[in-house]
Structure 1
Amino acid sequence: MKLIIISGRSGSGKSTALQALEDVGFYCIDNLPAPLLPGLVKQILSDPDHPGQLAVSIDARNQHSNLKLFPEIFAQLRETGQLECEVLYLDSSETTLLKRYSATRRKHPLSNDNQGLQEAINYEKVLLAPVADLATIRIDTTRLSLYELRDSIKLRVAKRQEQELSLQFESFGYKHGVPLDVDFTFDVRCLPNPYWLPELRGLTGQEKPVITFLEQQSDVREMLEDITRYLEKWLPRFEQNNRSYITVGIGCTGGQHRSVFISERLAGHFRTTMDNVQIRHRELN
Structure 2
Amino acid sequence: METPGNEERRPPTVPEGIPLLDEEAKLPQNERPELLIITGMSGAGRSRTAAALEDLDWYVVDNLPPRMLAALARMMTPGEGGVHRLAAVVDVRSREFFAELVSVLDQLRLQGTDYRIVFLDADDDVLVRRYESVRRPHPLQGDGRLLDGITEERQLLAHLRRRADVLIDTTDLSVHDLARKVREVVAGESDRPLRLTVVSFGFKYGLPLDADHVVDVRFLTNPYWVSELRHLTGTDEPVRDYVLGQRGATEFADRYVDALAPVLDGYIDELKPFVTIAVGCTGGKHRSVAMAEAIAQRLRDRGQSVRTLHRDLGRE
The answer for the alignment partner of 2:150 in structure 1 is 121
The answer for the alignment partner of 2:176 in structure 1 is 147
The answer to whether the Cα contact below 8 Å between 2:78 and 2:84 also exists between their aligned partners in 1 is no
The aligned amino acid for 1:89 is F
User: Is 2:118 the partner of 1:88?
Assistant: yes
The answer to whether the Cα contact below 8 Å between 2:108 and 2:114 also exists between their aligned partners in 1 is no
The aligned amino acid for 2:179 is R
Aligned to 2:60, the other structure's residue is in SS state strand
- Quickly say closer, same or farther: Cα 1:75–1:47, change in 2 above 3 A: farther
RMSD after superposition? 2.2
Identity in percent: 34
The answer for the alignment partner of 2:137 in structure 1 is 107
Distance 1:152 1:3 in 2: 18
The answer for the alignment partner of 2:128 in structure 1 is 98
Structure 1 residue 111 displacement after superposition: 1.7
CA deviations 1:18-77 (Å, max 9, x no partner) are: 00111111000000000111011113349994221000000111223x333322211222
The answer to whether the Cα contact below 8 Å between 1:21 and 1:28 also exists between their aligned partners in 2 is yes
The answer to whether the Cα contact below 8 Å between 1:70 and 1:130 also exists between their aligned partners in 2 is no
The answer for the alignment partner of 1:78 in structure 2 is 109
User: Is 2:44 the partner of 1:12?
Assistant: yes
Distance 2:58 2:75 in 1: 16
The answer for the alignment partner of 2:61 in structure 1 is 29
The answer to whether the Cα contact below 8 Å between 1:87 and 1:136 also exists between their aligned partners in 2 is yes
The answer for the alignment partner of 2:95 in structure 1 is 63
Distance 1:71 1:18 in 2: 21
Distance 1:2 1:22 in 2: 14
Aligned to 1:61, the other structure's residue is in SS state helix
User: Is 2:163 the partner of 1:134?
Assistant: yes
Distance 1:34 1:47 in 2: 26
The aligned amino acid for 2:146 is L
Normalised by the length of structure 1, the TM-score is 0.52
List runs of 5+ in structure 1 lacking aligned partners: 162-285
The aligned amino acid for 2:68 is L
The answer for the alignment partner of 1:51 in structure 2 is 83
Moved over 4 A (4+): 45-49
- Quickly say closer, same or farther: Cα 1:47–1:76, change in 2 above 3 A: farther
- Quickly say closer, same or farther: Cα 1:160–1:75, change in 2 above 3 A: farther
- Quickly say closer, same or farther: Cα 1:129–1:62, change in 2 above 3 A: farther
The aligned amino acid for 2:131 is Y
Which has the higher Rg, Structure 1 or Structure 2?
2
CA deviations 1:75-94 (Å, max 9, x no partner) are: 2222333x431000000000
The answer to whether the Cα contact below 8 Å between 2:39 and 2:120 also exists between their aligned partners in 1 is yes
Structure 1 residue 116 displacement after superposition: 1.3
CA deviations 1:148-201 (Å, max 9, x no partner) are: 00000011111179xxxxxxxxxxxxxxxxxxxxxxxxxxxxxxxxxxxxxxxx
Distance 1:60 1:144 in 2: 23
The answer to whether the Cα contact below 8 Å between 1:71 and 1:134 also exists between their aligned partners in 2 is no
- Quickly say closer, same or farther: Cα 1:118–1:127, change in 2 above 3 A: same
Distance 1:36 1:45 in 2: 17
The answer for the alignment partner of 1:221 in structure 2 is none
The answer to whether the Cα contact below 8 Å between 2:75 and 2:83 also exists between their aligned partners in 1 is no
